[in-house]
Structure 1
Amino acid sequence: MPSPGRGRSVFKPITGAAAATAAGVLLLSGCTSSGPADSQPTSAISAGASHAPTTVTVWTFNHLPNEVAAFKATLGQLHAKYPWLTVKFVPNKDDAAYAKAVAAGDPPDVFISSAPDNVAKFCYNGTVADLKPYLSSAGVDTAKTFPAATLVYTRYQDKQCALPLLTDAFALYYNKKMFAEAGITKPPRTLAELTAAAKKLTKKNPDGSIKTFGFVPRSDFNANRYIFTGVQSGTDFYGKDGKTTFADDAKWQQLLKWDRELIDYYGASNVQKFVGRYQPHADDASNPLLTGAAAMEFDGEWHVGEIATLKKDFDYGVVPMPVLDAQGTGYGAGNTLGTVAYLSAGSKHKQEAFFALQQLTTDTTFLNQLADTVYNIPSTFAALKAWDKASDPHWKPFVDLFQNSGSYYKTLTPAGVEDMDTWRAFLLEYEQGKVKDAASGLSGVGKKIDDLNAQSGQ
């Protein structure tokens, strides 16, 4: 999910105005479907069986030329291997466009989304088909095919709502030269160590302004929002009762305290200037890690590909994101989420569409070619084993994190992306000093999200 021309902006989860638009469309349309037609079997097509010519439509969020070319090449090979199957490929479609098509009664057969936040919503309201019967019929054992982290964000309750198509992991990047100059011999493993390192690495100009920030934690910068979803603090976003844990788990307050103290160290206005200046350049040559404006940065694996393209001689390291001190045993795990592929419940060719979906999400050659194209991580065990970058010192930390049993993404709900939008709005208000008391603020936003989920059907 890399920079302009490479795909990072395409692969990262829908955020900001785009998220609000998608959420609004989904709420207005209800995104409901009539569900599977009774006349349509839920068994998979045998690869060796003859079949009547069929055309299925595949929509994807991807739109950059190299990504589109990778898909078209694979779909062309699929047609050459199975001449009866023709795929109409339509790029540059997001969740909002998909919701509109479903509401209009004319969805694509397969839809590939940039993020999993709406998996539970689409599953709950019948927009997408449960893939379990097809997978069982095709002999695909999901537990043996896909790493456990991907199954967390492609399932809702007892349904397999989607399949993973590449994945993302998030870790800490650091400038090795700056570490050596500051006398820091090893990367931080806890958030307290991260703060200490950040202060040592901070440099000021003669006029007192900040030349180099050690680490900027504000949640609206780059991928930082994923520091605040639970893994790094050893907390669960939702408890076993389905309710938020913000009011009950003291570690949320500890996480917010760490965040605000580091922001206050730099000064809120300085952090605001940093975010305003560098947020538009998170993925290009003006990225603060690459220019020396920051010594450390939290980012996804696609940044490895960006650095190789933009500044290949840059000397840097990648390690898991530090965790709260009391949760030190959780070091090594992190957030993992990625692209998901759905089978529309309203598809008129479910068997054929699932056949195409299965090829795209399990074909090792395609997955590795696409991973190399968009700088992502392959999403099957077989593809990971065959991937030539798996042992690269910059890529390996992400692969290890992806396969770490403690890595996960927060529980998905029928509210879709709206729970994260609400949480992120609260975080920013807290970081800007608009929320004075963390405990009451956490309790309030927790209730707001619980109410949102209740209204959505959870």
Structure 2
Amino acid sequence: MTRRVAVALTAAALGLTAACTAGGDSSGEGPKSDEKQTIEVWHGWSAAHEVKAFQDAVAGFNKVHPNITVKLVSGQTDERITNAIRGGNPPDVVSSFTTDSVGQWCKSGAWQNLAPYIAKSKVDLNIFPQAVRKYTEYQGVRCAMPLLADAYGLYYNKDLMKGEQPPKTMSELTALAKKLTVRDPDGTIKVAGFIPSAQYYEHQVQHLAPPFGVTWLTADGKANFASDPAFQAYLKWNKELLDWYGYDNVKKFLRSLGQEFEAANPFQKGQVAMAIDGEWRTKFIEKEAPKLNYGTAPSPVADDKQSTYGGGFIAGTVIGIPRGAKHAQAAWEFVRYLTTETGALVTLSNGLGNVPSTVPALASPDLKLPPQFQTFLSAFKHPASTTTPPTPNGNDYIVRFQKFVQDEWEPGKVGDLGAALTKLDREVNDALKLAGG
């Protein structure tokens, strides 16, 4: 699976007991990087075109470091990575789609502090945009490097839109969603203009709340759900459009849909007119629905946040060296090559359909991406683009908010919203306290 079911993770699944000080490293251990050796690299990509793209990038590394054989293991999850580190038998390099977990990995020392490697190699971190640098470190400890990035925007089916322009505000999105929806006489949804439910693929809270201008955490790192009115604005928009469809109708529609990362994806099949999704969808459309007549645009924003239009939610794949890696120095050479060499990033970007994560790679003339991809390149560089801040227990606060929305808010089980959000804040803060936050 390409991306990013971060909210399916729990803090418990990522919990690690540090066997060394937080951010500790073992950069002096193992064979020297110029010795003949084999390193094992775990990554999460699994689709055929994704696996090939990674292999192509590794071929470039092998030309520079012929003494280092790279054993690639695809389709790996954070849980498997965590279990391997816990068991004392990790691979040499690990890659994850879950930027939310960086805080936990850095704090526990599960992923090594890369500062000694970076200093020795004289890597200039200014080649990475500021937002990228932020989500690869925690409290001054950089335990991850960015490996491509994700930006989110609006996909729209031009044939279903029938000449309508993509909406720029949430009120425009709501009106157009209603106009484009097609139902059977009993209310069953045949074609959805836009599904607001957090249970629809990439419409999870992490991606649809930011256009309302939410601030996830307070300045001192505490939950901010009850204090920030933007959360209530998001929730009220979500519920009003959901109620227009009918909650039971939406649930029935969701059960009828194909899988997100298969050719039966409902946007690719013309069952959904508009959807928020990541840039990688362009590559899946190219492979699985090449005749689809579609466009992309920035995510619509709240009506009172129109100055932020053009930005979007951004995150990315991260890569690092786990505690206990047996070939740490060779592992760093691999990490450095994939994350800083323009040629490697362009190869990966072209093959995976992801946003390059360095400034030079973003400007490379060798990028071969469809016109619809420009939306995501622009969003990635936009000053209004945001990401979710790291915490010592990973994405626990996102998991809890997602669960609240899909299990309580959307089914209509919440009476007093303010009180419910205050309770959520308390639960998040209690969990943060247990994690040392």
Same structural fold, with TM-score higher than 0.5 when normalized by the shorter chain = yes
Amino acid at match of 1:367: L
CA positional deviation for 1:353: 1.8
- The farther-off stretch of 367-376 and 268-277 is 367-376
> What's the C-alpha RMSD, in Å, of the aligned pairs?
2.5
Amino acid at match of 2:332: F
Amino acid at match of 1:71: F
Give the corresponding residue for 1:24.
Answer: 12
**Equivalent in 79, 89, 92 of residue 109 of structure 1:** 92
Secondary structure of the residue that 1:340 maps to in structure 2? strand
The answer on whether the counterparts of 1:229 and 1:237 sit within 8 Å (CA) in structure 2 is: no
Give the corresponding residue for 2:393.
Answer: 415
- Once the two structures are superposed, residues 210-260 of structure 1 have per-residue CA deviations (whole angstroms, 9 ceiling, x without a partner) of 332211110011101155565211121011111121111112111110000
Amino acid at match of 2:46: H
Cα separation, partners in 2 of 1:254 and 1:366, compared to 1, 3 Å: same
> Would you say 1:289 and 2:267 are equivalent positions?
yes
Secondary structure of the residue that 2:393 maps to in structure 1? coil
- d(CA) in 1 for partners of 2:318, 2:197: 28
**Equivalent in 159, 171, 176 of residue 177 of structure 1:** 159
Normalising to structure 1: TM-score of the pair?
Answer: 0.87
The answer on whether the counterparts of 1:120 and 1:155 sit within 8 Å (CA) in structure 2 is: yes
Amino acid at match of 2:254: V
Amino acid at match of 2:12: G
1:254-265 equivalences in 2 (<5 Å):
254-265=233-244
CA positional deviation for 1:149: 2.5
Give the corresponding residue for 1:441.
Answer: 420
Give the corresponding residue for 1:126.
Answer: 109
> Would you say 1:402 and 2:390 are equivalent positions?
no
- d(CA) in 2 for partners of 1:242, 1:251: 18
1:249-328 equivalences in 2 (<5 Å):
249-278=228-257, 280-328=258-306
The answer on whether the counterparts of 1:233 and 1:327 sit within 8 Å (CA) in structure 2 is: yes
1:19-168 equivalences in 2 (<5 Å):
19-20=9-10, 23-27=11-15, 29-30=16-17, 32-33=19-20, 40-41=27-28, 51-143=34-126, 145-168=127-150
Secondary structure of the residue that 2:105 maps to in structure 1? helix
The answer on whether the counterparts of 1:390 and 1:399 sit within 8 Å (CA) in structure 2 is: no
The answer on whether the counterparts of 2:267 and 2:274 sit within 8 Å (CA) in structure 1 is: yes
- d(CA) in 2 for partners of 1:67, 1:283: 12
The answer on whether the counterparts of 1:152 and 1:408 sit within 8 Å (CA) in structure 2 is: no
The answer on whether the counterparts of 2:25 and 2:112 sit within 8 Å (CA) in structure 1 is: no
- d(CA) in 2 for partners of 1:282, 1:366: 28
Give the corresponding residue for 2:357.
Answer: 379
- Once the two structures are superposed, residues 92-135 of structure 1 have per-residue CA deviations (whole angstroms, 9 ceiling, x without a partner) of 32211221221122222211112212111010011112222322
Give the corresponding residue for 1:4.
Answer: none
CA positional deviation for 1:77: 3.9
> Would you say 1:205 and 2:188 are equivalent positions?
no
Gaps of at least 5 residues in structure 2 are none
The answer on whether the counterparts of 1:334 and 1:406 sit within 8 Å (CA) in structure 2 is: yes
CA positional deviation for 1:297: 1.0
Secondary structure of the residue that 2:226 maps to in structure 1? coil
Amino acid at match of 1:369: T
- d(CA) in 1 for partners of 2:280, 2:23: 37
Normalising to structure 2: TM-score of the pair?
Answer: 0.91
CA positional deviation for 1:264: 0.5
The answer on whether the counterparts of 1:116 and 1:337 sit within 8 Å (CA) in structure 2 is: yes
The answer on whether the counterparts of 2:3 and 2:97 sit within 8 Å (CA) in structure 1 is: yes
Give the corresponding residue for 1:214.
Answer: 193
